[in-house]
Amino acid sequence: MMTEVIITTDRTMMTNHHGKEFIGFMTTAPPIFMPEWLWMKISAPKMKVNEKGEPWQAPYGLRKIEAALLDAGIDAAVIDPDHLGKHIDEAKVIAIGHHDYFALGPPSSEWWVLTGKEPVNSKSFRKLMERPEIRRAKKNGAKIIVGGPAAWQWLYMPELIDKWGVDTVIDGEGEKVTVEIVKKALSGEELPKFIQVGAEDVPSLHQIPLIKKASVNGLVEISRGCPRRCRFCSVTLRPLRHYTLEMIERELEVNKRAGVEGCILHSDDVLLYGSDSVYPRPEPIIKLHELARKYFKSVGWSHFSLSAVKYAEENYKLMSRLSEMLLEDDDYVGVEVGIETGSPDLAEKIMPAKALPYSAREWPSVVIDAFSIMHELRIVPAATLITGIPEEKLEDVTKSLELVDELKPYRSLIVPMYFVPMGLLRDKNWYRAQPTQEQMDLMKACLRHDLFWIDDLARWYLRKANPLLRLSIRIFISLVKRAASRYLFI
């Protein structure tokens, strides 16, 4: 039963959040109004595993690394953190991935600043690294390799690299590079401490491995990269690649065979599938959705850009067609979108191409039009709004506040992302950095918006959830409402 290369992560990642992707947001916050064990039970329940300790679903990024290693003939498997003991004496490499190892990224860092309490994701990750099994493996000479979208955070934690014996940090698209490093580790060669994956090491389309076992909530990637090049976003450094429909179908089949009940089409902008510019193309998008529907009744999306929503509907009625294809009469479907700012000035500076094919100065009206289109079609945007970025001025925050007010009639959630200045992160008390009054006002305005829509959304989102989960979240929502009115005057 031994596995030479174990791929794992902590509980806040190794979970399917009861099949409700959005509940995963709770893992980025500290427990509020309930004990930590209950918070974890609601947001990060354990999943069933096989006799080897392999979870039946695993984060997509870990499945990609697993597939790359298996394709290279290396004995590797994703193992649930509670089952590491079964393999640890034989393991030669432990590969670990995470979205937010130390809660330094938004929205975790924002919760930390606002509450002064450490979010559960970084606590849970620390517990993983201090587990006796990991310590034992290290003593036995196993190498620890870490990567994933939060790999950059290790640069701020050099003492933990030493304390926990991390051998290599891989930052960037890791499929090709991880195989090389794991081969080196298995043959006892010296490993580099830090690797920044350069353009020449990024896998080309046909080098991207296809997952072999089920991903969390049926997520399958359809494209990588984004042509908009916003200044604060690392996605932009990756070349744009669209999977072929055959590649996507093979991953859909893997999830279907494993018994996953739906799929989430993942890309930095699903509406640009099959396009090599900022103009959505209806034909590939319709074919993609027909394919997904062939396998799953429930089809969701990860991200849309708001300008693509407006353009696709106004030119091709494409959003209406997608809504007809996917939604029953009283249903909604959610998707993440980025507003980031309500200020045309700031939009011009930090994301000049985000509004394309419209101009950056039109950005607030693009956002409103897209929200209005989605509201009519029962597509629910969960939008991010950034504050705290170095270029931001007081007037920019005011413009964002005005935009949040204008979005009130549209069914949506708006999540403010408070950017802690990178320079501060080296200080271990970084989370004491306080937002300005205007930034606090903006965060309150978002909370007010969300509380306005929350009952409508919770009714839909939780309608098929188990009764205990439904009850816990309802109680939680009423406590948040009460606290918001008592302490924040919302």
Residues that bind ligand SF4 (CB under 6 A): 226, 228-230, 233, 235-236, 268, 305, 338, 351, 354
Closest contact distance (angstroms) between CB of 305 and ligand SF4 is 5
Closest contact distance (angstroms) between CB of 229 and ligand SF4 is 6
For residue 123, the one-letter residue type is: K
Determine the Cα–Cα distance for residues 231 and 190; give it in Å rounded to an integer.
36
* Nearer Cβ to ligand SF4 (173/268): 268
Closest contact distance (angstroms) between CB of 233 and ligand SF4 is 3
Closest contact distance (angstroms) between CB of 379 and ligand SF4 is 18
Q: Where in 59-199 does DSSP place strands (E)? A: 76-78, 93-97, 143-147, 168-171, 194-196
* Nearer Cβ to ligand SF4 (178/400): 400
The string of DSSP letters for 228-242 reads T--TT-SGGGSPPEE
What separation in angstroms does the CA of 103 have from each of 99, 108, 152, 166? 9, 5, 12, 18
* Nearer Cβ to ligand SF4 (157/383): 383
What separation in angstroms does the CA of 205 have from each of 130, 170, 225, 242, 358? 37, 20, 11, 7, 30
* Nearer Cβ to ligand SF4 (298/302): 302
Closest contact distance (angstroms) between CB of 281 and ligand SF4 is 17
Tokens 């799953």, located at residue: 296
Closest contact distance (angstroms) between CB of 50 and ligand SF4 is 36
Reference 150, options 57, 306, 12, 301; nearest CA is 12
* Nearer Cβ to ligand SF4 (258/422): 422
Determine the Cα–Cα distance for residues 222 and 216; give it in Å rounded to an integer.
15
* Nearer Cβ to ligand SF4 (145/226): 226
Angle at 199 between CA 195 and CA 202, to 5 degrees: 75
* Nearer Cβ to ligand SF4 (77/271): 271
- Cβ atoms of residues 412 and 380 within 8 Å: yes
SS3 219: strand
Closest contact distance (angstroms) between CB of 307 and ligand SF4 is 9
Q: Is residue 265 classed exposed, middle or buried when 0-12, 13-18 and 19+ CB atoms within 10 A define those classes?
A: buried
